[in-house]
């Protein structure tokens, strides 16, 4: 993640993607745009972490939703947009 001071108002917005498993939300990264394709790209970029959690015999992957409501489900694991931007996350970390 870039330094929060480097994220100025002139920077393009980037959207946070999280993985939810057993009620715990884990940050996966940021995408330059929303939708199904960036969500799939993020899942692929984090495939090792996903494969460690998803049961081997689970083949129930689903992709639902549109541009801002896209949700990718692999058995008990959900990958979705958090609703926060990179700027939001940097501001929250700076306040902590």
Other CB atoms within a 10 A radius of the CB of residue 43 amount to 20
Going by pLDDT thresholds of 50, 70 and 90, the confidence category of residue 3 is: low
Using only C-alpha atoms, the chain has a radius of gyration, in whole angstroms, of 14
Going by pLDDT thresholds of 50, 70 and 90, the confidence category of residue 96 is: low
pLDDT for position 55: 74
- Tens-place pLDDT, residues 66-89: 777 889 998 889 999 999 999 888
More confident residue, 86 or 9: 86
- Tens-place pLDDT, residues 25-40: 999 999 999 999 999 9
Per the prediction, the chain carries an average pLDDT of 84
Domain boundaries, the chain: 4-95
pLDDT for position 19: 93
Cα–Cα distances in angstroms (integers) from residue 94 to residues 15, 16, 23, 32, 43, in the given order: 18, 17, 25, 22, 27
């Amino acid at each position: 993640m870039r330094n929060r001071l480097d994220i100025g108002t002139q920077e393009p917005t980037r959207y946070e993607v999280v993985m939810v498993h057993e009620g715990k939300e884990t940050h996966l990264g940021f995408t330059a745009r929303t939708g199904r394709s960036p969500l799939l790209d993020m899942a692929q970029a984090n495939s090792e972490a996903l494969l460690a959690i998803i049961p081997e015999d689970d083949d129930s992957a689903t992709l639902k939703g549109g541009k801002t409501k896209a949700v990718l489900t692999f058995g008990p694991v959900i990958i979705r947009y958090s609703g926060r931007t990179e700027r939001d996350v940097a501001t929250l970390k700076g306040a902590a």
